[in-house]
Structure 1
Amino acid sequence: MRIASRGLPLLVAALAIAYPWLAPNYYLVYAGALTIMYAAMSTSWNLLGGFTGYVSLGHSAFFGLGAYGTGLLVINLGVPWVVALLVSALLVTLFAVGVGIAAVRVRGASFVIVSIALVSMMNLVVQGWRSLTGGSTGLQVPSPFPDLHRGQTHMVFFYLFLALLGLALLTWWYVSRSRFGAGLRAIREDEDKAESLGVPTGVYKVAAFALSALFVALAGGLYALWFGSLDPIFVFSILISSYMVLMSLLGGVRHLYGPLLGALIVAPAGEYFLIALGETQIHLTATGVVLVLVVLFMPEGIIARLTRKRAGPSIPDQSADQRLQGVVS
């Protein structure tokens, strides 16, 4: 069992690396890249939601800011795309620290409302600042690989998103085994008790918020370079945040591979319904219905439902007192 639990992730990684060469057409490569992008973002969201229990529906704000930041640096300042991607993500992370200091003061439904307000505010700012962002008409970002045709570009970005996913998974795994992760779990179980015992809950929550935003901003920057055309209504859409939450909940927020499993189900299904139903709102309604069903009937996710003996790294199942002792000691 131990060999199987270690070998399965290696097998999945090998299949992922080989996927663009095995796919029969470039559309499936595109769909694969989109799925990996959502897997990276949902894993990043889980750094906050899975550890602290704070449900954010505002992470699409960081996705959009990362996309626009990267595009504007490339277009207006002529910055190389790799530098623009990293600088934009760093600036978004600093912005997330400021937002987090204010946002994590509230809990529960109030935090959800604040996160939704952040997305709406960023959408209005970007659409209103026409001289910089192009407003509602969007922004055209030049391709970093102009000599490649569209199908080859899909392959390149598949691997870029795969690298981002690997980094996000590694970060989640490291946090889950650190003192920082133990503090975040204590916040999820009993925040007031954790704070009374000396856990710096405010600092930990802001750090998790910013770390989560960093990876989502990197995904947004890669999206801008990949698609080349930014629509503020889409990149600052609450739907993107909802997908992150749905994928994480569906797979299991307490498991390393939970968001990845959720993305492998939700993203291809979304593409299928989009093709089958066209540009209608029906597939959006279906997403909302699935999210409600998951919360009601499978709150611990698929992995926890299939086996209580978790097949892979997960958030350790300890009592609140044990977690607090691990942080304080």
Structure 2
Amino acid sequence: MRTVSKLLLLAGTAGALAYPWLVPNYYLVYAGVLTVMYAAMATSWNILGGFTGYVSLGHSAFFGLGAYGTGLLITRAGMPWVLALLVSAVLVTVAAAVIGVAAVRVRGASFVIVSIALVSVMNLLVQGWRSLTGGATGLQVPAPFELSRGQTHMVFFYLFLALLGLVLLTWWFISRSRFGGGLKAIREDEDKAEMLGVPTAAFKVVAFAVSALFVALAGGLYAVWFRSLDPIFVFSIVSGVYMVLMSLLGGVRHLFGPLLGALIIAPAGEYFLIALGESQIHLTATGVLLVLVVLFMPEGIVPRLVGRPKGASIREDTAEQRLQEVKG
């Protein structure tokens, strides 16, 4: 079984690396960039949502902050784009840690509402601060390379692919660490985990910040790639919903679950956007799909394909098992 998994992983990696050279036009490369970007964002979201069970619909706030932070450091401070990307991501991570201290004090629906409010506040702030951000007209970021638009798509496909690989490795490492065991214990029974010595507040804040870090990196890369930042898009609640939907559809308890969800949702969303135009019908379809996934496939596609462990469910292990894992 392990040999088959390794062969599938190698085949998938080879296919991803060869994709830009196999498709017949640059539009499909562009669609590939979007898909890989969303896969990286969904996997980043899963560092928080999959491990702790805290559902954030507001992660697009960190995407937007990463995008605008990178764009402003390039245009206002004159930084090289790579340095601007890294500085912006660090600043967003620090901000996320500060926000997380307050946000993770609430649970369930209250946490969801707080996350949505975060997106709305950031959207209003960016649109209102016209002298700095350009307001509703957006921000224009200079091109990082003297390449054609199609060639730029090729470059950023591999940059987003590298980010996706980094996020997957981070998720894999966390899942096998004591820190990951503590996060899973929080998911299974937070009160019991705290009672038995797991520093739940600190663990949740760290997961929140690490998740925000990678989403901010995706936002920064998007700013340099797309070059035209629209606050309504980069701070859209729809992007946050996409991250959740992709993770749920693929399977939040599995490393490649969000990636599989992104490979389905992102191309489908692009297809419906072209087929239906700029109407809101494709957004309605996204909402309906989210409801259907939650109702009929709450564990995602991956558990259906590989089979789930005996007794597994949305809560795949007991809190006691996870606490034993933390204690080593």
TM-score by length of 1: 0.97
Opposite residue 278 of structure 1, the aligned amino acid is: G
* 1:308 to partner: Cα distance: 1.4
Cα distance in 2 for partners of 1:85, 1:44 equals: 17
Contact 1:172 1:256 in 2 (8 A): yes
Question: 1:10-58 deviations in whole A, cap 9, x for unaligned?
Answer: 1100000000000100000000010000000000000000000000011
- 5 Å-filtered alignment, 1:261-276, equals 261-276=260-275
- Name segments (4+ residues, structure 1) moved above 2 Å: 315-319
Cα distance in 1 for partners of 2:318, 2:205 equals: 24
* 1:305 to partner: Cα distance: 1.8
SS across alignment from 1:105: coil
* 1:309 to partner: Cα distance: 5.2
Segment of structure 1 superposing worse, 3-12 or 182-191:
3-12
Question: 1:146-187 deviations in whole A, cap 9, x for unaligned?
Answer: x20000000000000000000000000000000000000000
- 5 Å-filtered alignment, 1:141-180, equals 141-145=141-145, 147-180=146-179
Question: Unaligned regions of 5+ residues in structure 2, if any?
Answer: none
Cα distance in 2 for partners of 1:317, 1:291 equals: 21
Contact 1:197 1:328 in 2 (8 A): no
Corresponding residue of 2:64:
64
SS across alignment from 1:226: helix
* 1:328 to partner: Cα distance: 3.3
* 1:318 to partner: Cα distance: 3.7
Corresponding residue of 2:239:
240
- 5 Å-filtered alignment, 1:134-283, equals 134-145=134-145, 147-283=146-282
* 1:317 to partner: Cα distance: 4.9
Question: 1:50-98 deviations in whole A, cap 9, x for unaligned?
Answer: 0000000110000000000000000011101000000000000000001
Aligned Cα root-mean-square deviation (Å): 1.2
Cα distance in 1 for partners of 2:44, 2:138 equals: 26
Corresponding residue of 1:128:
128
Cα distance in 2 for partners of 1:194, 1:319 equals: 11
Aligned residues: 324
- 5 Å-filtered alignment, 1:1-40, equals 1-40=1-40
Cα distance in 1 for partners of 2:45, 2:157 equals: 20
Q: Does 1:75 align with 2:79?
A: no
Opposite residue 245 of structure 1, the aligned amino acid is: V
Corresponding residue of 1:284:
283
Cα distance in 2 for partners of 1:167, 1:226 equals: 19
SS across alignment from 2:72: helix
Question: Unaligned regions of 5+ residues in structure 1, if any?
Answer: none
SS across alignment from 2:76: helix
Cα distance in 2 for partners of 1:317, 1:287 equals: 27
Opposite residue 184 of structure 1, the aligned amino acid is: L
Opposite residue 91 of structure 2, the aligned amino acid is: L
Cα distance in 1 for partners of 2:277, 2:134 equals: 27
Question: 1:220-241 deviations in whole A, cap 9, x for unaligned?
Answer: 0000001100000000000000
Cα distance in 2 for partners of 1:53, 1:301 equals: 15
Cα distance in 2 for partners of 1:13, 1:318 equals: 31
Cα distance in 2 for partners of 1:156, 1:72 equals: 22
Cα distance in 2 for partners of 1:150, 1:324 equals: 51
TM-score by length of 2: 0.97
Question: 1:269-304 deviations in whole A, cap 9, x for unaligned?
Answer: 000000000000000000000000000000000011
Sequence identity (%): 79
Contact 2:58 2:119 in 1 (8 A): yes
